[in-house]
Amino acid sequence: MEYLRSILFLAFAIGGIGLFVRNLLRIRRNILLGKKSNRSDQPSVRLKLMARIAIGQGKMMAKPVAGFFHIIVYLGFLIVNIELIEIFIDGIFGTHRYLGHIIPTHLYNFVTATLDFLAILVMISVSVFFIRRNITKVPRLNSRDLLGWPKIDGNLILIIEFVMMFALLSMNSADINLQLLAHRETLGYFPISHLILGNAFSGLSVHSLIIIEKSSWWFHYLGILFFMNYLYFSKHLHILFAFPNTYFSNLNKKGQLNSLEAITKEVRSMMDPNIDPYAATPEGTIPEKFGASDATDLSWIQLLNAYTCTECGRCTSNCPANLTGKKLSPRKIMMSVRDRIEDIGKNINKNGIFIEDGKQLLGDYITSEELWACTTCNACVESCPVLIDPLSIIIDLRRYLVMEQSAAPQELNMMMANMENNSAPWQFSQSDRANWIHE
């Protein structure tokens, strides 16, 4: 019977982890469909930034309530999953609490009590998050860009986390009751589990307790495998991608725009006397776009940003355009980029290569109205807890509208015409530019 259990355990592990790796590789492929961008400079600075922001949760406390409970969930899941080590050992070899036999009793008791305590803290925290989403209805968690699957996903992940932690407490409580009945040797210390569920389980038979303990153990284990693979469909990919995203984030000063390589090449070719401006373009050569019209025109960093987005809405709640009723939502921009690159990835999965689907990021997923509502104030970039940069995507899409489609708003076209004719954004003669001195 133990052999069958071990074989079943390994089969689930291989299947679950294999599916997880396959999905992760697909996301990696989708991200690398973006343009190359070199972010290998200043590795020590990047490591410190990742340690402070991703590992140390350095920006979470900007919103104290959400930040406090998020840190509890973060630490809880990080530490509670130490239990996975013992689960895998017991599952493969058919043992029971193997670590309790090989490490000092007081240390094992301390570890199990800590895990027990953190499990209940995680349950309390996700309950608070559920209440904030569905009862008190925090505005940034109930805006129109979260309608449909994003709202369901946000609630579903909280329920999954709660149930998994409850399964852990049930397993521990049943185990300690079996120990009290002298059916098992005393291993571990579970004060919270015993306090919450001890009385409920105390009158049960040994057979019933074993069923509860084994069922909870399997539920927790299979729940972890399910959770791993659910991440592919969820905003909770930030659990994995927050670390590389903060490492590869933009180290330049906020507001400093990058230069387009395509523009630089064009200007250099125009100024190079050795280049024939009338030379025919080689057949099959596709001119490089100015700006971006589809997800694959963005850099791989920007696509990584999209997959890292937590949909927390801090960017949108701090966006002055959104606060004044404009259509722009930086969160929705990131969600739209992720939706588009996912659609491109599914197209490749189905056909082997990308088959033109008649859609583009610009127009079909993000409208020009959203883009021109942006004031480029960098509030969204500043407020993101994992250093996502929605503004860089907005700028690249705007560049395409201006330089490829000449589709800028009238006010902007007038300003650019004045710059060209008068060397100033205002409509007056160049000879009058210095008149302000006389005032």
145, 328 in Cβ contact below 8 A? Answer: no
Identify the three-state secondary structure at position 343. helix
Of the ranges 73-77, 343-347, 405-409, the best mean pLDDT one = 343-347
Whole-angstrom distance, CA of residue 218 vs CA of residue 91 = 9
pLDDT at position 274 is: 78
Question: Do 67 and 171 lie in a common domain?
Answer: yes
Q: Which of 44, 58, 29 is nearest to 387 (CA)?
A: 58
Which own/partner contact pairs does 128-131 have at CB distance under 8 Å and 24+ positions apart?
Answer: 128/65, 128/69, 129/66, 129/69, 129/73, 129/158, 130/155, 130/158, 130/159, 130/162
pLDDT digits (tens, 9 = 90+) for 5-51: 899 999 999 999 999 999 999 999 999 999 999 999 999 999 999 99
Inside any domain, residue 319: yes
Of the ranges 126-135, 248-257, 415-424, the best mean pLDDT one = 126-135
Whole-angstrom distance, CA of residue 155 vs CA of residue 168 = 20
pLDDT at position 376 is: 94
Q: Residue 255: which pLDDT band, with cuts at 50, 70 and 90?
A: confident
Q: Residue 129: which pLDDT band, with cuts at 50, 70 and 90?
A: very high
Question: Do 90 and 177 lie in a common domain?
Answer: yes
Q: Which domain holds residue 230?
A: 2-31+63-236
Whole-angstrom distance, CA of residue 172 vs CA of residue 170 = 5
pLDDT digits (tens, 9 = 90+) for 211-223: 999 999 999 999 9
pLDDT at position 267 is: 80
CB-based contacts of 184: which residues, under 8 Å, 6+ apart? 96, 175, 178
Q: Final residue of a domain: which of 236, 253, 276?
A: 236
Question: Do 275 and 209 lie in a common domain?
Answer: no
Domain count of the fold of the chain: 2
Q: At residue 353, what are phi and psi to the nearest 5 degrees?
A: -135, 170
Question: Do 114 and 227 lie in a common domain?
Answer: yes
pLDDT at 282 over 70: no
Q: Which of 108, 155, 148 is nearest to 129 (CA)?
A: 155
Inside any domain, residue 139: yes
pLDDT at position 277 is: 63
Lookup: tokens for 362: 């610009």
Question: Do 194 and 319 lie in a common domain?
Answer: no
91: exposed, middle or buried (C-beta count within 10 Å: 0-12, 13-18, 19+)? Answer: buried
Question: Do 230 and 273 lie in a common domain?
Answer: no
Question: Do 176 and 215 lie in a common domain?
Answer: yes
Question: Do 226 and 331 lie in a common domain?
Answer: no
CA angle 357, 360, 363 (to 5 degrees): 130
CATH number at residue 329: 1.10.1060
Lookup: tokens for 324: 């004044």
pLDDT at position 286 is: 67
pLDDT at position 180 is: 86
Tell me the mean pLDDT in the region 255-283. 76
pLDDT at position 242 is: 95
Of the ranges 80-84, 94-98, 380-384, 407-411, the best mean pLDDT one = 380-384
Question: Do 298 and 176 lie in a common domain?
Answer: no
Question: Do 200 and 282 lie in a common domain?
Answer: no
Q: Which of 397, 334, 403 is nearest to 369 (CA)?
A: 397
Of the ranges 83-87, 186-190, 302-306, the best mean pLDDT one = 302-306
Question: Do 217 and 314 lie in a common domain?
Answer: no
Helix (H) or strand (E) holding 137: none
pLDDT at position 62 is: 87
Q: Residue 281: which pLDDT band, with cuts at 50, 70 and 90?
A: low
| C-alpha separations of 401 from 247, 289, 338, 398 in Å | 31, 11, 21, 5
Inside any domain, residue 416: no
Tell me the mean pLDDT in the region 116-127. 94
Inside any domain, residue 39: no
Q: Which of 151, 343, 382 is nearest to 253 (CA)?
A: 382
Q: Final residue of a domain: which of 198, 219, 236?
A: 236
Q: What is the dihedral of CA 342, 326, 141, 362, to 10 degrees?
A: 0
pLDDT at position 199 is: 85
User: What is the pTM assigned to this prediction?
Assistant: 0.90
- Lowest average pLDDT, out of 35-44, 93-102, 282-291, 340-349, goes to 282-291
pLDDT at position 284 is: 57
Inside any domain, residue 438: no
pLDDT at position 260 is: 82
Question: Do 146 and 269 lie in a common domain?
Answer: no
pLDDT at 314 over 70: yes
The mean predicted confidence, pLDDT, of the chain is 90
Q: Final residue of a domain: which of 236, 270, 288?
A: 236
Inside any domain, residue 249: no
Rounded to a whole number, what is the largest CA-CA distance in the chain?
A: 99
